[in-house]
Chain A
Amino acid sequence: MTVPIEYYVLLSMALFCIGLFGILTRRNALMFLMSVELMLNAANINLIAFAFYHGNLTGQVFALFTMALAAAEVAVGLGIILVLYRNFRDVDVTVPTTMRW
């Protein structure tokens, strides 16, 4: 007896929407990074759930690569936040406006 695939997809959608809400409302750059991680993990849940659904390992292997990509993204993101704090004494993403259109 296994959990049906719909519940996995609903869980991943809920995670994705929570991450989207965080990105739209938060102003702290660290919260931004955490919200992006939530959305990436929603994609991971989908990949692994459908790999199990189809009896194929491709999704699981690809989820591993997604995790490595998330690690790279966090490394660069934390570096950017470091520079942001050094230049503006703040991690508010609405403060730096010089690179806006």
Chain B
Amino acid sequence: MTTGPKLRLDSSLAPGVLAVALFVIMATIVLNTGFSPEMEGFEGVDSITAEIGYAMFDLEALQSTEGSIPDTEAFLAAFLLIAVALDAALDASLVLAKREEEGEPVAALASRGTGSDGAGSAASGVAGSDRSAATDGGHEGSTVDADRADDPGGESR
């Protein structure tokens, strides 16, 4: 029995044809556009990264020095807007991750397990004895793994 990739022709045929047709149309347009063969590039520029920084923070005095790239727009307002948008996205993801149990909001990062989880951890603690707990807390990962590799019995994960 093979598990290799198969061509699904039932439901994804029409979107596939659509995507390929769109690519062919756009490629035809691009290949018929008269781009100049030479890229202008950034010849004689000291540091592109520094120039990006100057443009991002409106440092026009530094932009006009020797070896700089002229005509770069100032992006300080866009930078601040993106900062606000990232902050809003962080808040939104926290709001979305917050769950409610019987009308009570539970914090997104709460570590209080449910009843079944507690029972499971208690059972594994009994099965693995207190040796695993000591190695989990004190040693590095490699030594713990070596211990477990040597140990034929113990907990099964």
Q: Which residues of A contact B (CB under 8 A)?
A: 2-6, 9-10, 13-14, 17-18, 20-21, 24-25, 52-58, 60-62, 64-65, 68-69, 71-73, 75-76, 78-80, 82-83, 86
Tell me whether A57 and B96 are in contact (CB under 8 A).
no
Residues in B neighbouring A82, C-beta threshold 8 A? 96-97
Q: Which residues of B contact A (CB under 8 A)?
A: 11-12, 15-16, 18-20, 22-23, 26-27, 30-31, 35, 37-43, 48, 51-52, 55-56, 69, 71-73, 75, 78-79, 82, 85-86, 88-90, 92-97, 99
Tell me whether A10 and B72 are in contact (CB under 8 A).
no
**A73 vs B85: C-alpha distance in the bound complex, in angstroms?**
10
Residues in B neighbouring A55, C-beta threshold 8 A? 40-43, 69
**A71 vs B43: C-alpha distance in the bound complex, in angstroms?**
32
User: Which of A20, A52, A65, A75 has a CB less than 8 Å from the CB of B78?
Assistant: A65
User: Which of B23, B35, B73, B75 has a CB less than 8 Å from the CB of A13?
Assistant: B23
17 A-B pairs in the complex with CB atoms less than 8 angstroms apart: A2-B39, A6-B30, A13-B27, A17-B23, A20-B18, A24-B12, A25-B12, A52-B39, A54-B40, A55-B42, A56-B71, A69-B85, A72-B85, A76-B96, A79-B92, A79-B94, A80-B96
**Interface residues of A, dominant DSSP:** helix
Known A4-B35, A5-B39, A53-B40: A86·B30 in contact at CB below 8 Å:
no
Known A53-B39, A55-B40, A61-B72: A75·B90 in contact at CB below 8 Å:
yes
Tell me whether B52 and A10 are in contact (CB under 8 A).
no
**A86 vs B52: C-alpha distance in the bound complex, in angstroms?**
42
The 5 closest A-B pairs by CB, nearest first: A79-B96, A55-B40, A24-B15, A72-B89, A21-B19
Residues in A neighbouring B95, C-beta threshold 8 A? 79
Q: How far is the CB of A75 from chain B (nearest CB, A)?
A: 4
